[in-house]
Structure formats: C-alpha cells, structure tokens
Amino acid sequence: MRLRPVVVSVFVAAAVAYFVYIPLPENVQEPWKLMLLDAAFRATVRIAMIKDWLGFDHFIRNIRWSTESLEGMMKTMSGSRSDGGVMPGVKVSDITFAGVPVRVYEPPAGGEGHLRRGLMFLHGGGWALGSGKKGSYDAINRRLSDELNTVVVSVEYRLYPEVHFPEPYIDCLSAAKHFLSQEVLAKYAIDPERVGVSGDSAGGNLAAAVTQEISTDTSMSVKFSVQALIYPVLQTLDFNTPSFVQNQNMPILSRTLMIQFWLQYLKADFSLHPQLLVNNHSSLHQSVIPAELRARLDWTVLLPPKFKKDHKPLVVEKGSHGIVKQVPALLDVRAAPLLAGPEVLAKCPRAYILTCEHDVLRDDGLMYARRLQDAGVTVTSDHYEDGFHGCFSLSFWPFDFDVGRRAVRGYFNWLQTNL
C-alpha cells in the first residue's frame, strides 16, 4: 500500500515533465525558465478553450482573465521589489486620442523652451491579447519616458474577438493622426521633427502599416521621423519561410498559433488553417497574386545566405482555388505591410528592426529591412542569435531573461541616437 503514493507521484512528475519539456536550441539561455513559461501559456490556452466549450465566455477573454490574474498574483508576490518599472518623476495619464484610449507617459518637466521627443507605442499580442497599461509594456514605457526625456503614447486599440481587421489598424491610425497634430505636439512640448512610432509583434505590424499610411498622406504636415519595429509580423502569403519552418514549434509563438492569430484578425474561417499551413492559399493558381507582388516577399532573393541555409521555397502549383477572393484582406497592405510597393517604402522614415533567430517572424523582419534599404531608407537591423519571440517583453522580474534585457537596452540606445 505504501508503494501506491510513490507510484502516483512518479507518474504525475513524469506527466508534468512530458508536458513541460520541449527541445530548444543550444544557445537559448535559461531553457527551463522558457519551458515553464511556455507550458504555463499552453496550459492557460487549453483551459480557456475547455471553458469556452462549456459556455464560460470566449476563449480569448478566458485567456485574458487568466493572464491578468497571474500578473496580479506575481505583482503581489514580488512585494516592493522593483526592477525599474516605477519612475516617480513620470506622469501617467489615461485619456483618449480621437476617441481611442491611450496612456500618456510624460517625463519630468525640463526648462522652459526645451522640446522633448515623442513616441507612439503599439503593444503586441496577436491583435487579441495584451495591454500597454500592464506588465512589462508599462514598465518599459515608464523607463523610456524618464531615461530618454520622451512623451510616450501607448495605444489601447480594440482587440479580437470584439473587433476584426481593419478596426485595430483604424484605431492606431486615428490615434497617430491626433498625436501628430500641431495642437497636441505643442501641448506636450514635443519637437515635431522628433516623433517616432514603435511596436512589437502584432504591434510592429500596426506600426509599420500606420507609418506607411502617414508617410504617403499629403495632408499630414508632421510625420513620423523614425519607426522601431520589434519582431514585426508583416505578411500572410508564405508560412514556409526558413524561419517559419525552423522555429515552427518554438515558444512563445509557434507557426500554428501565428496562423490562428491571422485567421482571427482577418475574420476568416478557421477551417482554412490547413490550407495556409502548406501555402495552398498562395498557390500559383491564384491569379489575383501577380508575380510582382510575390517578388515583394521572395525570401530566396531578400534573405542573406546565412538565413536561407538549405531551405527550399514551398511554391504550390495548384492549391485551393479562391481563398484569396474569400479572404481579400490577405493582400491588403494595411494588414500585410511587406506587400507595399517600393514607391510607398521610399517615403518611410529611417527604421530600426529587431529580429530573433529563434522566431517564426524572423524572416518577415529581415525581408522588410532589405526592402526598405532597397527603397533608399536607412535601416538598422538588430539581430539576436539567442533571441526568441516575446523576449523583449521578458525583461522584468519574475519573467526576465538576459536576452530580453539586452533587447530593451538596444532599443533604447537606438532611440537615444536616432529619435
């Protein structure tokens, strides 16, 4: 009888280890911390989907509730511990810009007549999760405001499932135009020639799309002077780039999850997932995708050799007919900024693009950097060989990683010099 608890304990331990353990590249630091974080996220998603199936609200809202509860618990456990997220001199205001909720961070007032930098920040989360008001996003923006004497505007754009594309984009564009108005810049003592926009992941997607629109809008007297994109998601037509294949099962963003985020955002039928997974939606049979458009994301040309390695492009001759007509947003540059023409890219401001080796979105960022450079835009590419998707947000205790701290510091340093 005494043996039974031991057997049960061993069985439970083995089951937990099986769920938690995933093989990771050798150069990923603190692998067990990353495995545990990924396991916690996967468990949260599965529980949320079960609750959805049982009728307890939408699974995305269940995930939000769970992550917010975990964040609150961690905040309580940390007590008074702070890694720099609280900046007493920074004034924080929750207001609206053109009807869109924003959080404004104002650094301590300087001498009269001294203009400050301005930066609009768009958070990530697959257009469904996250908030710039919470966690590491809030901590990073507080620190940036204080350290770089910058007025930071973090946009709380609407999310799935409450809205779909193009609503999040429209929210960000409306807030951006309001922010860039002479009246608002004067109110916050911001230098009109030193205003930037940045974002990570889905926020990087929105930042790139908004930058393109602002840059080509002849009615705008003030435009963004820089764009800082942190592992941005930029295209919908090829889910078999080298980075998508190489990192298809990497935390925190798998290829399957990225495709799901896209389907949600574009209000597409989830049954299309298997078709997108094997590039059937972008087959040569799709006459609405001309060769010129395909060339804008041809990684065999746009990627440096070190990233192409021995990968082969997956080009499907005859896939599922009519998917692009069924989901026209797949070709909308407001959703997929990498598809923008060179005449649009040429008008964009200088850029900072952060990419991570172990990220499905690595090649999106690298291809965009190359296309911007080809269009004559000055680009700084900051690549982290030991980085993974989400590491930028994992720079504060208790979910802190060394690569996350380095990524934030590199981002700060670039803004310090270029904004």
Tell me if residue 169 falls in helix, strand or coil: helix
Beta bridge partners, 25, equal: none
Termini Cα distance of the chain: 70
Catalytic residue among 138, 282, 389, 393: 389
Per the annotation, the verdict on 201 as an active-site residue is yes
Distance CA 210, CA 173 (A): 6
The DSSP element (H or E) to which 382 belongs, if any, is: strand 379-388
What number of H helices and E strands is found in the chain? 17, 8
Tokens at 310, concatenated = 């021995």
Distance CA 164, CA 37 (A): 28
Distance CA 44, CA 251 (A): 14
Tell me if residue 167 falls in helix, strand or coil: helix
3-state secondary structure 359-377: CCCHHHHHHHHHHHHHCCC
Catalytic residue among 359, 363, 364, 382: 359
Supply the DSSP string of 260-315, one letter for each residue: HHHHHHTT--GGGHHHHHTTGGG-TT-TTS-HHHHHTT-HHHHS-HHHHTT-----
**The total number of residues written for the chain in this structure:** 419
Catalytic residue among 201, 215, 243, 283: 201
Q: Which amino acids are annotated catalytic? A: 201, 359, 389
